[in-house]
Amino acid sequence: MITAVEIEAKAKELKQKGYPVISLAIGEPDFPVHESIKDTIYKAVLDNKTYYPNPQGILELREAVAEYETKRKGIHISPDEILITAGGKPVIFYSIFSLCNKDDEVILLEPYYLVYPYWCKVLNIKYKVIKLEENGTIPKDEFLKALNSKTRLIIINYPNNPQGSLMNKENLDLLLEALEKFSRLYILSDEVYSELVYEGEHISIFKYNKERVILLESFSKTYSMTGLRLGYGIFPIDMIKNLKTMNSNLITGPSTPIQYAGIVALKDENVKNYVKTMLEEFRKRRDFLYEELKTFVKFKPQGAFYYFIKIPYDGLEFCNRALNEKYLAITPGILFGDSFKNYVRISFANSMENLKEGIRRFKELL
Amino acid sequence: MITAVEIEAKAKELKQKGYPVISLAIGEPDFPVHESIKDTIYKAVLDNKTYYPNPQGILELREAVAEYETKRKGIHISPDEILITAGGKPVIFYSIFSLCNKDDEVILLEPYYLVYPYWCKVLNIKYKVIKLEENGTIPKDEFLKALNSKTRLIIINYPNNPQGSLMNKENLDLLLEALEKFSRLYILSDEVYSELVYEGEHISIFKYNKERVILLESFSKTYSMTGLRLGYGIFPIDMIKNLKTMNSNLITGPSTPIQYAGIVALKDENVKNYVKTMLEEFRKRRDFLYEELKTFVKFKPQGAFYYFIKIPYDGLEFCNRALNEKYLAITPGILFGDSFKNYVRISFANSMENLKEGIRRFKELL
């Protein structure tokens, strides 16, 4: 199955060949990386901070993450619990690979991030898929039916890509009860859009049970640091030693100067204000698109930066047609689960100008 | 098992606490990254080349690698055959994981790089170990006894870490015949020290059978870019599509600005001269250490930057003692195979001053 990153790569290729491509395919903020972050990378390189990083992540960054998360979550988090990774994806691989054996089961919630089922499939781990309600609620009966003593891992993603829904109290209770009932069960909570919330409140299940919840966070979306590759997992402390060794044997760690940039992203006041500015800009785009799309969608996304739209066509064919006929790159819904063959995802992490032109082309195709 | 990177991390911690640590543990050139490379990273960041890379690696870098390797190997290599990775280690994981199933066998040559058996163990793939002769020759009878139709992968490393030996004609013939005889067999050729050769000639088996040999290369050692995390694999073309998807699902790719730096590393004449200067410096250090160590070692290493030394103690205990009593970090031989319990590895990728003091402390412990 093609990934969103591959669609984007194809779109870039067409663009390089001179076609007037507009890409609303990928979850990649169009904002440049903040100057303080850019300068930090250069300063780190100039200062020869270019040697192997500690395979758990450089201590200063883990300290900065611990401080940031302790404050956000209101529970104590230590640098020892944190594994710095090259973006958030390794946390998904590490969680599935290190927790699940061949008789175990994983529960995924649809729409899901393609990387979750990818690693389940490739690692030969059985998984069940439950379709979320449109507001992000987990259907209780179906969930309880899927859950059993073989369930080793539930992967959740709030704010949800591509649905834009938030975790709610009902889900939280349901998941915490599941952890209580099944002692082998873990939850991987992918919260990479946690700072991109337009209304309502982001609830992190992590703070209610950090012994059995793995937190996945990334610098990509919040700080527009997609291509720099920096993220982290906060793991139950007894998992860290093995995962540090695994990280050491897989990639050693993210590029050292980029790790220094991560410290500044978390601590610099100017960067914090920049994030606020980006969020306000995303909100404007979200509101603009809602007006354009309201015959197709019921409500505005509460978080992240996508519209997930049902169309009267096969989504994959439609996306191919969009790219080939209109040079518009968008993402087929099937990537987020089999229930979404007639869906497409449009990212509004793009300039207003591109959104206007992109949505014009999109409507022409309908 | 502790890794060399972890020993180094422990040594760095002690150093930060104020202890007069000298580390000859890790294979990490002490030279700074060349200015042209530093400037390229900053320029890429300033130019906002900070977005998601193509998951196979940015095209310009793959083109540069293809040109460089085509010239070196004397056979045509296309950018389509190349997968850019975060250092060389992912190539090891990808090769073992994508080629081997549970009934397959891997052959490792001892001394080996710890990452090879790590992934075999973790992925539950059976492996056999054959001890190389001191000059790097593969013992023919033992090799032919180990080889069978289940052998899916042989992992070789020349110039060898830690032995310093080169591939020879005898090995080359033996391995090429094995490929001819067993049609399911692949060879992973780890050649990360290929530019660090003091005498003799580096022979790459890759150019004799690129349909069944995977080439692993890294920017870490040659360009002193260890912490920047950049490497590549050249794979049989039919493996590339799946591995590109795997790379996309694991880390997306190395940090984008670092990929631009890779182009300059391969193309810039000043960088080429810098590499020559480093090599000459390594040669001097090698010769110096030989005089100091010649009661323990029979010959000078032909490539890489290590002495692998037999001592009259348990190597692991000795290394712990060295770090705790003398603040000297060196690497226990057991990391390179069970045959080397009484060995230690000393890296000469360090300043002459540190080598002099390090070797003084080393001798005091003997």
The reported pLDDT for the residue numbered A95 is 98
The reported pLDDT for the residue numbered B10 is 83
From B89's Cα to the closest Cα of chain A, the distance in A is 5
Chain A neighbors of B248, CB-CB under 8 A: 3, 5-6
The verdict on B58 and B141 lying in the same domain is yes
- Give, for all 366 residues of chain B, the pLDDT tens digit: 566 667 777 888 899 899 999 999 988 899 999 999 999 999 999 999 999 999 999 999 999 999 999 999 999 999 999 999 999 999 999 999 999 999 999 999 999 999 999 999 999 999 999 999 999 999 999 999 999 999 999 999 999 999 999 999 999 999 999 999 999 999 999 999 999 999 999 999 999 999 999 999 999 999 999 999 999 999 999 999 999 999 999 999 999 999 999 999 999 999 999 999 999 999 999 999 999 999 999 999 999 999 999 999 999 999 999 999 999 999 999 999 999 999 999 999 999 999 999 999 999 998
Q: Do A89 and B251 touch (CB under 8 A)?
A: yes
* B197-242 residue pLDDT tens: 999 999 999 999 999 999 999 999 999 999 999 999 999 999 999 9
Closest CA to A120 of A55, B144, A112, A220: A112
Q: Do B48 and A55 touch (CB under 8 A)?
A: no
- Please give the model's pTM, rounded to 2 decimal places: 0.96
Residue A354 pLDDT exceeds 70 = yes
Q: Do B9 and A55 touch (CB under 8 A)?
A: yes
Last residue of a domain, one of B224, B244, B267: B267
Q: Which of B28, B45, B227 sits opposite A41 (nearest CB)?
A: B45
Size of interface A-B (CB pairs under 8 A): 163
Q: Do A257 and B90 touch (CB under 8 A)?
A: no
The verdict on A87 and A197 lying in the same domain is yes
Residue B150 structural domain:
50-267
From A38's Cα to the closest Cα of chain B, the distance in A is 6
Instruction: Give a yes or no: residue B260 inside a domain.
Output: yes
Last residue of a domain, one of B267, B284, B315: B267
Q: Do B245 and A6 touch (CB under 8 A)?
A: yes
CATH number at residue A121: 3.40.640.10
Q: Is A199 exposed, middle or buried (0-12, 13-18, 19+ CB in 10 A)?
A: exposed
Say how many domains are in chain B. Answer: 2
Q: How far is CA B88 from CA A96, B66, B217, B289, B324, in A?
A: 23, 17, 6, 28, 31
- CA–CA gap between residue B14 and residue B18 (Å, rounded): 7
Rounded percentage of chain A residues whose pLDDT exceeds 90: 93
The verdict on A194 and A164 lying in the same domain is yes
Q: Which amino acid is at B7?
A: I
The reported pLDDT for the residue numbered A46 is 97
The reported pLDDT for the residue numbered A10 is 83
Q: Which residue of A has its CA nearest to B50?
A: A227
The verdict on B210 and B338 lying in the same domain is no
Q: Which residue of A has its CA nearest to B120?
A: A249
Q: Do B118 and A9 touch (CB under 8 A)?
A: no
Chain B neighbors of A35, CB-CB under 8 A: none
Instruction: Give a yes or no: residue A17 inside a domain.
Output: yes
Q: Do A227 and B254 touch (CB under 8 A)?
A: no
Residue A279: CB atoms within 10 A of its CB come to 15
* A110-156 residue pLDDT tens: 999 999 999 999 999 999 999 999 999 999 999 999 999 999 999 99
Q: Which of B32, B46, B254 sits opposite A38 (nearest CB)?
A: B46
Instruction: Give a yes or no: residue B45 inside a domain.
Output: no
The verdict on B22 and B169 lying in the same domain is no
The verdict on A188 and A216 lying in the same domain is yes
Chain B neighbors of A118, CB-CB under 8 A: 245, 249
Q: Do B249 and A118 touch (CB under 8 A)?
A: yes
- CA–CA gap between residue B352 and residue B357 (Å, rounded): 9
* B102-125 residue pLDDT tens: 999 999 999 999 999 999 999 999
Mean pLDDT of A331-360: 96
ipTM, two decimals: 0.96
Q: Do B41 and A46 touch (CB under 8 A)?
A: no
* A188-243 residue pLDDT tens: 999 999 999 999 999 999 999 999 999 999 999 999 999 999 999 999 999 999 99
